Amino acid sequence: MCVLMTRTSCCKSIPKHAKYFQYTTAFCVGILQFSVNSVNVWISPVLPHLTSDVSVIGVTLTQEEASWAIATVGLGVTMASLVIGICLDRIGPKFILLLSSALTIASWICFFFAKSLAVLIVGRFLAGIGQGIALICCPIYMCEVADKEIRGKIGTIPSGMGMLGTVFVLMAGPYLSYTHLVIACAVFPIAFFIMFLLIPDSPYFLIKVGKIEAAKASIARFSRLSITNEEIDAMAKKVEEIVEQDAASSLSITLSSLHFRRSMAIALAAKLIISFCGISVITPYLHTILESGASSISPKLSSVIYGFIAIPGLILSVLLLDKIGRRPVFCASSLGAGISIIGEGVYLYLDDQVDLEKVSFLPVLCLTSYKFWISLGILHLPYFIVGELFTTNTKRMAALVIIFCTGILTFLNVKVFGSVFESWGMYTMCWFFGGVTLCGVIFAFFILPETKGKTLADIHDGLTKRN
């Protein structure tokens, strides 16, 4: 069953027809991730049009103005930490995800009617809030409704579909007009909002707020009536006991506990790797990077290749996570991505000194290799791990800290990038990103806990007892 079976051992194995509904739920949540990722990366294919002499919004943006339009998403993500802190324990993960989709829809409306930089910035800010909410609350929701036997696979579906949102924009963006791209992308958050209204809320949250009967109905829905009423009552009772134990714990004591401190250290380390692996800069500035490398492949085609290569990386990740575990996947992802982006930097460094015409395909090869490896694990595993590591009464605080750091780091990353690029060259940034990404190998080996096949209770106990 969902969180009830991940926290207890009431049922030995979840029936196939129950899994189907959980996969359907994961797919629905994935549509939201698709939406927030597409609105985030939307700036990449339209940026050249916004900075051209014939701007699609009627106002030509300078490079400084463009950097603000890109970086404002980070400020929105920071604001999301306040929204999560205020709303998560009050309205629950389901309705806060609906709020995320509403904000994403509002951002597309801003882009559709934008005729100035100010409207673009407002839209990007709203998009950032929606993205920040989704990044934390999607894995929290999925971890509370997914059975331990398939939690790894289900957990990768939303984040994987988020990657597909990036792929969609990068592949379709160069070939669609500004208006048509906005309309095409806006369809997805609208579809999610309608579909998710029909999905039950987390049984754990419902019990936590005293809605016992609604929680039982949610349990029955996720199990597709495959268990008896007595089993439903037993599962609900066990989760109710866990909620009572959590409520009895002092927040100050909980936050100072060994488990919370270790979980937070792991989550922040993973967040630092994501923030400085380069993806938040490389994707919006993809055309600029490709043009600086003098590749023999056009930036438009390179963008399509860069976007498409994430798909096999995602598929391989889904196949491997519950077979070989989180650690090996994260390690391979960090190693491959780090070597690839360092290779990109080497090419850019040598390009000004020697004739590289015979290997002019290397910039695209290195970037697509980087995208493949980073899609294998770094991009989605840390967010999913957050849902596994923290107990329910500490997830809100963890979300506040992690999302706040995400927004600040994203904003600084994008704003600093332009200055460093002009002063020290693109290759310097590539080497920095590569060095940070390779640190993920050390992180995976010595810090990241292996959660494959474990219940949430087992994971939490392991963090407490770890030396």
Task: Give residue 180's pLDDT band: very low, low, confident or very high (50, 70, 90).
Answer: very high
Quick check: 289 pLDDT over 60? yes
Cα dist from 396 to 134, 184, 257, 392, 401, whole Å: 13, 33, 15, 8, 9
Write down the pTM of the prediction.
0.80
What average pLDDT does range 303-315 have in this prediction?
Answer: 84
| Whether residue 96 has pLDDT greater than 90 | yes
Q: Are 69 and 50 in contact (CB under 8 A)?
A: yes
Q: Where are the alpha helices (DSSP H) in 197-325?
A: 203-208, 212-223, 229-248, 251-255, 258-275, 279-282, 286-292, 299-308, 310-324
pLDDT at res. 341: 94
Domain 15-199, what fold?
Growth Hormone; Chain: A; (1.20.1250)
Query: Residue type for 80, please?
Result: A
Mean pLDDT of all residues in 56-66: 84
Tokens of 394: 């500490």
pLDDT at site 78: 92
What does the pLDDT average to over 147-173? 80
Q: What pLDDT score does 291 carry?
A: 67
How many C-beta atoms lie closer than 10 Å to residue 57's C-beta?
A: 18
One of 3.20.20.80, 1.20.1250.20, 3.40.47.10, 3.40.640.10 is the CATH number of 249-466, namely 1.20.1250.20
* CA 261, 266, 271, 273 torsion-angle sign: positive
Q: Which of 45, 183, 50, 179 is nearest to 121 (CA)?
A: 50
- The Cα 126–Cα 181 span in angstroms is 18
- Parse the chain into domains and list their residue ranges: 15-199, 249-466
- The answer to whether the 15-199 and 249-466 domains have the same CATH topology is yes
What is the average pLDDT score of the chain?
82
pLDDT at site 327: 87
* pLDDT tens for each residue of 371-404: 999 988 887 777 667 667 887 677 777 778 888 8
pLDDT at 5: 45
Residue 164 has what pLDDT?
Answer: 85
Over range 282-305, report the average pLDDT: 75
Average pLDDT over residues 218-247: 67
Percent of the chain with pLDDT over 70: 83
CB 367 within 8 A of CB 302: yes
Q: What whole-number distance in Å separates Cα of residue 301 and Cα of residue 417?
A: 24
Residue 262 pLDDT greater than 50, yes or no? yes
Q: Is 274:379 a contact under the CB 8 Å cutoff?
A: yes
Instruction: Give the range with max mean pLDDT: 249-253, 319-323, 426-430.
Output: 426-430
Q: Mean per-residue pLDDT for 273-300?
A: 77
Query: Rounded to whole angstroms, what are the CA distances from 221 to 90, 346, 415?
Result: 23, 54, 47
Q: What is the pLDDT of residue 11?
A: 45
Question: When comparing pLDDT for 287 and 32, which is higher?
Answer: 32
Residue 2: the pLDDT is 45
If phi > 0 it is left, if psi is from -120 to 50 it is alpha, else beta; for residue 452 that is: beta
Residue 432 host element (H or E): helix 426-446
pLDDT at 27 over 90: yes
